[in-house]
Amino acid sequence: MVLLNSRSSWLLHLIRFIFISSCFIGQLKGVWATSESTSSTFVDDLEGFPDLYEASVMELQEGLDAGRFTSVDLVTAYFARIDEVNLKGPALRAVLELNPSALQQAAAIDAERKVSGKRSLLHGIPILLKDNIATIASEGMNTTAGSFSLLHSIVPDDAGVVKRLREAGAIILGKANLSEFAHYRGNLASGWSGRGGQTTNAYYPSADPCGSSSGSGVSASIGLVTVTLGTETDGSISCPSDRNNLAGIKPTVGLTSRAGVIPVSKHQDTVGPLCRSITDAAIVLSIIAGKDPNDNFTLAQPNVVPDYTQALNKGALVGKRIGVPREVFLNPNDTGLDPSVLAAFEEALNTIRSLGATVVDPANLPSAQQIAASKNETVVLDVDFKIQLNAWFEALLQNPSGVRSLADLIVYNNANPELEEPTNFTDQSGFIQSEATTGMNAGYFASLAFDKELGATNGIDAALKEHNLDALLLPAGAITTWIPAAIAGYPIVTVPLGFYPENVTIGSAGPLTIYPAPGVPFGLSFLGTGFSEFDLVGFAYAYEQKTLARLKRRAYPSAIPQTQLKDVIGK
């Protein structure tokens, strides 16, 4: 859920990134530069079935309702697609576990559709969950945040969002790889976990998928499943959406339940969809949003959960005022954004204008400079993580590893280096820093108050109010885009914007990953005040429908799974 756990580690990362990048160019530049888009020339005989690379929820519902294929067919096809690319071929390592009950559940839900029709737009639709979202063990899957310390642990219940998905008739296809413990363990590459290894991007070999919802992002990007869920504490839905050509929604903290989600912090964690279109994301959000007595932050949301699909209006930007918090946020020294991203962003502003909105530029956050210097977020997260993770371990009905606390976990990792500390993935400084905290003291409460002030009152809300804006707009891949929304608990809706050019300078993102790289996607983020998802979904939809940016490029050839519905139906 967290991309990086402190400002200083980001700066170190950036420095390392710039330094190492110069060593990689000679080796890699141009080698894969021919993996141009195949989407325009991609003509395979699908026998009239939707192409699973791109298939939308509505397209699949149409085929399911018409009886042209079943959810059993869908699950079978997705399992085969995962098998093609997860450990074999490009070895994307996006999926951790498959649900051994999925086919049986699909058969039951198919039978129900025949008798009484569908329960919701997600009836019979396969969904993949980030592995920090709990599913009952009796179904056959583990909930581990990617860590061997939680393998075969027994969770007390399904997560709140999983209960809603099951009620809606969705089929849990499996668990997605992630940055272990939502990137809170320490300075490790995005998308790596002890159990799953290194997830990589499908748009360029060994490219960074970003995180921490890495496996969710990669799986959605090439149709290993219809839709996915991730979690964000600071950047972890927005960044993988940015980097995997996706529509992602990081909901307001308290719109979706965190009950049964392996925590970082109740003040910042939130569960949301990563999908191929804003329409699919709106469908998923409409089902997972809502109050849950097991997460009292959700009790503060408005009484009626909006039907976010009602926001899907191509004219949503007409007459709206969209602000650009340019100061700090678009400083390339601060964000590490490539000139090609900045150029595409400027073009996006013109598109926004052409869609009838007024662009207010700049529309700075009064707190921007203070946010850049603040360590308040780290103070809060370090304290929350220890308390909440200890509570997670304590609530388990069983944990065969014997780990029952953060302190135990640190010891466990050191005692099992072959599982949890392989070469280049040894760090657990985030754990150690959190373990050293001593609870909710005055400094903690002061930092919590400063976070609200910096992110909301004197940040996002101040900019919106001062310029009478409907939303803010930023490149999706910048840490400075995520932080204000993270510490405010405010939403971000991300859509595809463009792709790195063939001649981009390739850099290092970790011991096994590179970034940027040719053809790797980047996105555009709409930010707003608390519970403004309905508006943001509309704005993002208008932009998405105007540009159809996602469709301009596909993954590199061997990362595109070949199995289609025609290959499984009747077989």
Q: Phi first, then psi: give them for residue 444, nearest 5 degrees.
A: -60, -50
Considering the candidates 6, 35, 71, 130, report the single residue annotated as catalytic. 130
Give the nearer residue to ligand NAG in terms of CB position, either 30 or 319.
Answer: 30
Q: Please return the burial class of 66, using the count of CB atoms within 10 Å of its CB with bins 0-12, 13-18 and 19+.
A: exposed
- The tokens describing 221, both together, are 């990007």
Cross-strand pairs, 527: 472, 492
CB of 7 to ligand NAG, least distance (A): 9
**Distance spanning both ends of the chain, measured CA to CA:** 40
Considering the candidates 212, 216, 241, 265, report the single residue annotated as catalytic. 212
- The tokens describing 16, both together, are 């390392």
Provide the binding-site residues for ligand NAG, judged by CB under 6 A. Answer: 86-87, 93, 95-98, 137, 140-142, 151-152, 196-197, 296-297, 299-300, 331, 333, 370, 374-376, 379, 423-424, 447, 450, 454, 501, 503, 505, 511
Give the nearer residue to ligand NAG in terms of CB position, either 98 or 517.
Answer: 98
Considering the candidates 153, 236, 265, 401, report the single residue annotated as catalytic. 236
* Residues 6+ positions from 356 with CB-CB distance below 8 Å: 315, 317, 318, 319, 320
CB of 306 to ligand NAG, least distance (A): 20
How far is CA 441 from its chain centroid? 32
Kindly give the pairing relationship between strand 471-475 and strand 521-527: antiparallel
CB of 559 to ligand NAG, least distance (A): 15
Tell me if residue 212 is catalytic. Answer: yes
**Rounded to whole angstroms, how far apart are CA atoms 273 and 292?**
18
CB of 16 to ligand NAG, least distance (A): 9
Give the nearer residue to ligand NAG in terms of CB position, either 328 or 360.
Answer: 328
Are 152 and 279 spatial neighbours (Cβ–Cβ below 8 Å)?
Answer: no
Give the nearer residue to ligand NAG in terms of CB position, either 98 or 210.
Answer: 98
CB of 153 to ligand NAG, least distance (A): 8
Tell me if residue 236 is catalytic. Answer: yes
CB of 376 to ligand NAG, least distance (A): 4
Are 431 and 416 spatial neighbours (Cβ–Cβ below 8 Å)?
Answer: no
Give the nearer residue to ligand NAG in terms of CB position, either 87 or 111.
Answer: 87
Give the nearer residue to ligand NAG in terms of CB position, either 96 or 283.
Answer: 96
**Rounded to whole angstroms, how far apart are CA atoms 217 and 239?**
9
- Give which of 65, 72, 135, 67 is closest to 106, Cα–Cα: 72
Active site members: 130, 212, 236
